[in-house]
A and B are shown apart, each in its own frame.
Chain A
Amino acid sequence: MAEHPNAGLIREAISLFNRGDWDAYREYFTEDVVWHVGGNHPLSGDYRGRDAIFEYFARVRDLTGGGLRTEPQDILADDSHGGVFTRVTADRDDRHLDVVLAQAYRINPDGKFTEYWALADDQDAVNAFWS
């Protein structure tokens, strides 16, 4: 079965994230995008608007020395939604993170992300990593 165009879109966005190409990555979001970061840690919560989300990405980058990587295992999509199961690895001081994150996206007709949710298979490990 051919990949849905929105699956390709998500794949490109993840690749830009991994390369740290923030200007190009920014183009994949609407101005008023909402980002839900699950869990109980200092970065958890709802981020509203592209600026708030990119401040969050900057914090993630600073805390992990730019070394957080996400490696998609499966990408699902239809005309207005996407989902990704992705392995996320990062190091922070002497802490190591290695989890699978389940991510859900809403995508508008222009091919931009309007809403996002994420939660990990081992949420306790994520909470400990960021706390």
Chain B
Amino acid sequence: MTVRPYTISVPDETLDDLRKRLARTRFPDEVEGAGWDYGTNLGYLREFVDYWLHAYDWRAQEAELNRFRHYTADIDGKTIRFIHERGKGPDPMPLILFHGWPDSICRYLKLIPMLTDPAAYGGDPADSFDVVVPSLIGDPGMSRSDRERPLAKMAEISYRLMTEELGYERFGAGGGDGGSPISQILGANHPESIVGLHLTDLGFPILTANFPDLSDAEREYLARSQEQGFTEGAYAVLQGTKPQTLAYGLNDSPAGYAAWIIEKFRTWSDCDGDLETVYSKDELLTNVMLYWTAGPSVRAVSYREEWVSGSLAPDQQVDVPVGLALPPKDIDPIPPREYAERNLKDIRRWTVLERGGHFVAMEFPELMAREIREFFRPLRATQGEAIPKGNIRNP
């Protein structure tokens, strides 16, 4: 057991340095009427940086973050940070939730209390969860020399965190973006420990697979995803091939880092082009701050290993029960169910949400809370049963 409580506390020097950089931000020009067509809008970013410098209160946000219980654990010689909140109910079920890029633990801050204490939100205390949310910015479990499969490695570290460090035998897992493949790898590699997986997207592991027998719906989905990739996916190809080249500008310029991140929040959210219909500037900034203060890390923007080695192989199956809550305004169109079932062999719940985008847990946390509760409710009965390894598929 290496678990120790941890408080987020950014040194004053980091904040002073940040203030200096923000004050001297050298904005580029923009063509007239560009809107967001060319990327992050200049007028909005000016307003955003001005707010950051003059109105945003990091210490207040830090205090908010510290209302959650944060811990560190040492696994494999690396320190991983995570939130661990115990549920209030007769029999809370342990659940680990993974964020992706460019979000952070902020993805789940609104959702955590709804899951730990459903009764306080008009729900049933029998639906309560113990919630664990690890912070994955910069792949904290990776060593500087690791160059292979960080998602698989994060899945393994998370498994050891839940079992060896926190003492849970069986637990649920879930997430979106990079958090989706991490969850799926956990399910594939440790079916005996995973009660079920709750996902908001399929992740990105199998888009490039050449399946011979695609249905028309699958074909159309892949074509539309590819089209989307041409207009919106350049960042991913860049982060997958030359992350280091990108990292110099982002780590030296807070405005540059913010622009790179918030463009994604706008495009991928159910906000009709107006970020602040679903996020406050404080929320957006606190997420950016977690990247900025994590230190100048190339891994925070690197997809290179995933790009080279993939994550979940096209023939790798997930046999544990899966629930999908698919937001209508996510990056890619809603996948056909048969496409999801190529890897996910036991989909028990399939919901196309009434609203929401890629960061639905931040955008509409109550929808996520509903989905997670309902998906896991029938599985709670099996939580205590030890299911022998290899016998998951035919219960």
Real binding pair: no
